[in-house]
A and B are shown apart, each in its own frame.
Chain A
Amino acid sequence: MSETTPIIEMRKIKKVFPGVMALSDVDFRLFRNEVHAIMGQNGAGKSTLIKVLTGVYEQDSGEIFLEGKSIRPDSPLAAQKLGIHTVYQEVNLCLNLSVAENIFIGKEPMKFGKIDWKAMNRKSEEVLARLNIDIDVTKTLSYYSIAIQQMVAIARVLDSSAKVLILDEPTSSLDEGEVEQLFKVIKKLRDDGLAILFITHFLDQTYQIADRITVLKNGEFIGEYKTEALPKLELIARMLGKELSEFHSTTHDEEKKKASAQAVTDTGTLMSARNLGRQGSIAPFNLNLEGGDVLGLAGLLGSGRTEMAKLLFGIDGADQGDIFIKGRKTAINSPRNAMMAGIGFCSEDRKNEGIFAELTIRENIILALQTRQGVLRFLSMKKQQEIADQLIGSLGIKTPSGENTASQLSGGNQQKVMLARWLATDPMILILDEPTRGIDVGAKREIMELILDLSKKGLGVLFISSEFDEVIRCSTRVAVLKDKAKIAELSGEEMTESGIMHTIAGGK
C-alpha cells in the first residue's frame, strides 16, 4: 500500500446536534486499494461520519477532499455522482423488478428510443461475473437471498464510475458461507482499485478483511491504525477509550463483595436456558440464573446482548432450545408469556419502548400489573395510588406526586419508574437492558444499589451494560458475548475488566 494521496480525506469534521457533539474534529483518510474499517461503540459517531461523507448530513465545519479536491455533497445523489456509493444493510433495491433492472434502472441501455432489454441482461451478467456470480438476471430480485441481493446492490454501483464503496453492516444478516462469498468480492474489488469503507460490529470480520482501522469514541478521533499493528486487545481498549494499563486486574468493589458475602436466601435456579438460539440473532447458548444472582452480560455493541435478552423475554421467538422456569420447561414466545412466568424486562430504548411520557407516573407504574391482571379486574384508584406511592418511596423517585407526567422526570428517575413498573408485578426475574445509559453518575449509583438490594431479596437479575466496570461492580457472574454468541462465563477472580477484554480479544 503506497502512501500516496488518499482518495478521500476528511479533515477536522465537526457536527453538532442539539445537545450532542456528534463529531468533534474527526479526521479520516481512505486510500485506493484498501479496505478500511471504522470501529467504535454506540454513539462513537461512526454513522454520523458516514452520513456526512455521503451527503445525508452537512458538517458544521471541516473539509472533505476527494482526490485532493474539496467537495461538499449535499445529498446521497450528489455523493453518488462524485463516485461515492453506499450499500446499506437494508438493501435499497426494488424487489419487484428483475435483477438486471435493479442493476440498470435509471441508466438503461436504449435502442431506437426504447429500453434494450437484451443488452441490459447481457451487461448485467457481465457485471455480476466480475463479482463471480452467475444467476438468471431476468428473475425478480425477491427470488434471491439477501446475500445475492447485496451483491446486486454492489453490482449496481460498480457499473458507474465508482471510486469509493461504503458497506454499512453488510454482514449482519448473512450466514458464514455468505460472508465468505462477500469477502471474496470485497477483496476482488479492492484489488481492482476501489477504496472500500467497511462498517461492522463483528471484531473477527474486521480482522479478516480490513487493511486499516480508524477508531472513534464519543465523536472523537482516537486513532488510525494498520490492522496488523493493532492487536485486538488494544482495539477494544481504544474503543472503550482507556489505555490498557488503566484496567485493573482485581475486583475492587467493596460493596459487591459484601453483597455476595451476605449471600442471600437461596431460592435455587429460577431460570435456565438450554441451547437457546435464534438464527441470525444469536447462536445457541446455555444460561443459569439463580435467586440472588446478578448475571452481567458484557460485550461490545452488536455482540448479541440485547438479542439474548429479547429471546429470554419472548420478544423474539427462539428457533431452537428450551427455557426452564424453576426447573419446569416453559414456552416463552411472547412478552405476555414471560410476564406470566414472572419475568420483567426493562428495554434499553427507554424513550420508545418503555416509558409513556404522556402518562402519569402512577399510570406508568401500574401498567404491567394491570396487564397481568387482565383488563377486567380493574385496580381501584386507591389501590393504584397505594402501590405507586409505596414504590416511589422505596425507589426514591424524585417527584412531587405520582400524578405528574413521566415526561417531567429526569432520565434516571424514568429508569426507576421502569423498574417500579416491573417490581409492582412482583417478579422473580428482572432483565435490565442498559438501565444506566444516559443517566448521570449519581443516578447510576442509585440504580446499581437498587439492583443489589433486589438480588438480596432473592430476585434473579440479568444486567446488561456496555460499561464493563458497571457490569463487574454489580454482578455476581459475568457472561461474555462476542459476535452474536456467548463465549464465556466469568466469576470470582477472573471477573475483571481486563479479564473480559482478554476473553473478547482471545476469540472463541
Chain B
Amino acid sequence: MKTKSIINSRDIPMLVVMILFVLMFGVGSVMFRGFFSMQNFLNLFIDNAYLIIMAVGMTFVIISGGIDLSVGSMLALSTMVTSSLLEKSHWNPVCVILIVLAMGVALGLFMGYLIRKFDLPPFIVTLAGLYFARGLCYVVSVDTIAINDGFWQTMAHGQINIIGNNFISPSVIIAIVVLIAGIFISRSTKFGRTVFAIGGNEQSAVLMGLPVARTKVLLYAFSGFCSALAGIVFTFYTLSGYALDGSGMEMDAIATVVIGGTLLTGGVGSILGTLFGVFIYGTIQVLIVFQGTLNSWWTRIAVGFLVCVFCVFQRILESRGTKEKRKDTSAKAEKTPVKG
C-alpha cells in the first residue's frame, strides 16, 4: 500500500519556519517604508555571514544529539590569533587563514576525542572548551588589535554586484559555500547520514556497524572548523581582534538552529532550516532597527519567545505524530498485503 503524501510530516517544521520568515518580512514591508527591497534581503546574508557559518557546524552537532558551547569563544580566539599574527608577526594572510582554521580543527578534534574516549557529555567538554578558548584570547592580548592588512581591507570593503544595483560582500560568498557544503554533506555523504543515525539512536547506530566513534570526533572538528572560519569572517567586519568578541554567540547559534527546526534531542534537522533560522533572527534585528524606539535588547526577548514557541510546537507535532501513527498502523496491519 503506497501512499505518497505531498507533504512529508518531517518537513512541516521546515515549512513553518519558511512561512514565518516570509510573514515577518511581509509585516516589515507593510509597516516600514523602504523595508522591502532586494538589498535589505541580501543584507540578511551580509550581516549574518559569520553566524550562518557557525550555525552550520552547530546544526550537525545538534543533529547528532550533542551540543557545542565553545563556538563563541572559538570565534573570539580565531579573531585574536588572526589579528595578532597579521599585525604583530606580519605573517602572510594565506598562512594566517590556514593556521587559524587548523587551530579550530585541532581544538575541535581534541574536544571530540575527550567526548568519545571518556564517554563524557558534550555539554561539559565544550563548556570547558568555552572557558579555555576565552582564556587563551587574553593570553594573546588583553587589548583590541586592529587589522590593517591589505587583503583584509579588500575583503572588508569589497562589494560584489549582483542583479541591478544590489551587492553582496565576499563574506557572503564564503557563507554560501559553507551552506552548500553543509547541505551536501548532510544529504549525500555517509558521514552526514551517520550523524543522523547517531542522533536517532546511538546504540542502534553502533549495532548497525556505523563508524560512530570516528563520526563523533569528526563532528566536533567540523564545528571547530566552522567557528574558526566564522571568526575569520567576523574580522572582515570588525577589522580587529578582541577578546570579548562573540561572547554569548554560542547561544545565538543554538537558537537559530532550534528555530530552524532541528530537534535538540537529535536525529531531526536540516541545514536549510538553520539558514531560515538565521534569517528570522536577522529579520527581528532589522525590524527593531526600523522601528527605531525599541532597545536592541528586544531582539533577545523576541528570540527567546520564538525558541520557546518552536520547542513546544515541535513537541506537539511529535506527539500528534505518534498518535496518528497508532491509528494508522492498526489500520495498516490489516491492509498490508501479504502476497504469499
Contacts and interface: CB of A to CB of B under 8 A. Distances in A.
Interface of A: 76-77, 80, 92-97, 101, 105-106, 108, 114-115, 132-136, 138-140, 142-145, 147-148, 156, 175, 177-178, 181, 184, 188
A143 B331 CA distance: 12
A188 B338 CA distance: 12
B270 to A, nearest CB: 12
B336 A77 contact: no
Contacts of A105: 193-194, 197, 208, 210
Contacts of B9: 143
B189 A115 contact: yes
B190 to A, nearest CB: 6
Contacts of A178: 333
Nearest to A76: B207
A92 B207 contact: yes
B208 A92 contact: yes
B88 interface: no
Interface in B313-340: 321-322, 325, 328-330, 332-334, 336-340
Nearest to B324: A143
A148 B336 contact: yes
Interface stretch (B45-53, B198-206, B296-304): B198-206
Given A115-B190, A135-B2, A94 B267 contact: yes
Given A114-B188, A142-B322, 11 more contacts: A93-B204, A94-B197, A96-B200, A105-B210, A106-B190, A106-B210, A114-B184, A135-B2, A140-B10, A143-B329, A181-B336
B209 interface: yes
B328 A143 contact: yes
A184 B10 CA distance: 32
A105 B200 CA distance: 13
7 A-B pairs with least C-beta separation: A94-B200, A114-B188, A145-B329, A96-B200, A96-B267, A92-B204, A92-B207
B331 to A, nearest CB: 10
Interface string B186-224: 011110011011011101110111100000000000000
Contact of A188 (B209, B333, B340): B340
A145 B326 CA distance: 8
Contacts of A143: 9, 325, 328-329
A268 B172 CA distance: 83
A392 B332 CA distance: 57
Contacts of A147: 333
A100 to B, nearest CB: 11
24 contacts: A93-B201, A94-B196, A94-B200, A94-B201, A95-B200, A96-B196, A97-B196, A105-B194, A105-B197, A105-B208, A105-B210, A106-B210, A132-B338, A134-B2, A135-B2, A136-B2, A142-B321, A144-B325, A145-B330, A145-B332, A148-B336, A156-B208, A181-B336, A181-B338
Range class of the B interface residue count: 35 or more
Nearest to A147: B333
B33 to A, nearest CB: 45
A424 to B, nearest CB: 41
B3 interface: yes
Contacts of A93: 201, 204, 208
Given A136-B4, A139-B8, A144-B332, A95 B201 contact: yes
Q: Which of A76, A97, A134, A188 has the most chain B CB atoms inside 10 A of its CB? A: A97
Contacts of A76: 207
A141 to B, nearest CB: 9
Contacts of B162: none
B268 interface: yes
Contacts of B267: 94-96
A59 to B, nearest CB: 21
Most central of B188, B325, B336, B337 by chain A CB within 10 Å: B336
B204 A184 contact: no
Helix, strand, loop or mixed for chain B's interface?
helix
Contacts of B321: 142
Contacts of B193: 97, 101, 105, 108, 115
Interface string B157-187: 0000000000000000000000000001001
Contacts of B94: none
A114 B181 CA distance: 12
A451 B184 CA distance: 68
Contact of A97 (B189, B200, B209, B328): B200
B205 to A, nearest CB: 7
Nearest to B203: A92
Contacts of B184: 114
Contact of A133 (B190, B210, B334, B336): B336
B7 interface: no
Contact of A106 (B4, B189, B209, B336): B209
Contacts of A106: 190, 194, 208-210
B6 interface: no
Contacts of A96: 196, 199-201, 267-268
A156 B200 CA distance: 17
B133 to A, nearest CB: 32
Which of A114, A147, A175, A181 has its CB near the most chain B CB atoms (within 10 A)?
A114
A94 B334 CA distance: 25
B209 A177 contact: no
Contacts of B209: 77, 80, 106
Contacts of B340: 132, 184, 188
Contact of B3 (A77, A108, A136): A136
A172 B155 CA distance: 64
A240 to B, nearest CB: 34
A395 to B, nearest CB: 43
A122 B187 CA distance: 18
B325 A184 contact: no
A334 B264 CA distance: 32
Contacts of A133: 336
A138 to B, nearest CB: 8
A114 B8 CA distance: 23
Contacts of A135: 1-2, 336
Contacts of B268: 96
Contacts of A108: 190, 193
A429 B294 CA distance: 68
B194 A177 contact: no
B279 to A, nearest CB: 25
A392 B275 CA distance: 68
Contacts of B3: 136
Nearest to B210: A106
A135 B338 CA distance: 11
A139 B5 CA distance: 10
Contacts of A148: 329, 332, 336
A160 to B, nearest CB: 10
Contacts of B333: 145, 147, 175, 177-178
A139 B10 CA distance: 9
Given A105-B208, A114-B184, A136-B4, A144 B190 contact: no
- Centre residue among B199, B210, B328, B329 by max chain A CB count within 10 A: B329
A140 B324 CA distance: 14
Interface in B20-68: none
